[in-house]
Amino acid sequence: MVDAARARKLADRIQQVVAEMLERRIKDPRLGFVTVTDARITADLRDATVFYTVFGSEAERADTAAALESAKGIIRAEVGRQTGVRHTPTLTFSHDPLPDSARHLDELLAEARARDEEIAKRAAGAVHAGDADPYRKPGEESPDGEEAPEEFEAGPADRAGRSAQ
């Protein structure tokens, strides 16, 4: 069993190596505009998952996935060479849905802002249905002729709500 700090450090190094390989050494025409977003490795350091995003359409994402799959052996060999671990972890490439989710949330927030602005425009000239202040004040008379009671003055109280002595 390996400590979590070493596993995280190795995952970070794998992420760097894969990103560097995709940028400089892998010349597959199917490879789109790829960004390596994260890498995670199992506790036994045997399997690593590399998360990536692709800027472009679904077809470009599919082409990039195929290109990564075909270059997996070369990338794994380079990861093994640069990390120096006894057993080079197997690599799994996984499309990271986080940027797509973030984009969708941004769209939803923009739509909510637009609706709020529309409601604010409609409410700009609106008036309340009843009185501006519907509560009776002490000494004020109600429409049925009943006077509101004077305010109750509470003395100092302790934490339990009982009067202090």
What are the CB-based long-range contacts (under 8 Å, 24+) for 32-38?
A: 32/56, 32/60, 32/61, 32/63, 32/64, 33/60, 34/64, 34/68, 37/96, 37/98, 37/99, 38/96
Could you tell me the CA-to-CA distances from 55 to 33, 95, 131 in Å, in that order?
Answer: 6, 11, 57
**Measuring CA to CA, which residue among 9, 31, 14 is closest to residue 75?**
14
Q: Look up the pTM and report it.
A: 0.60
> Band of the pLDDT at 152, cuts 50, 70, 90?
very low
pLDDT at 20 over 70: yes
Q: Which residue has the higher pLDDT, 42 or 151?
A: 42
131 and 137 in contact (C-beta within 8 Å)? no
In the three-class reduction of DSSP (H, G, I as helix; E, B as strand; rest coil), residue 33 is classed as strand
Could you give the angle at the alpha carbon of 129 between the alpha carbons of 126 and 134, nearest 5°?
Answer: 120
Amino acid at residue number 137: K
Q: Comparing 46-55, 61-70, 120-129, 152-161, which segment has the lowest mean pLDDT? A: 152-161
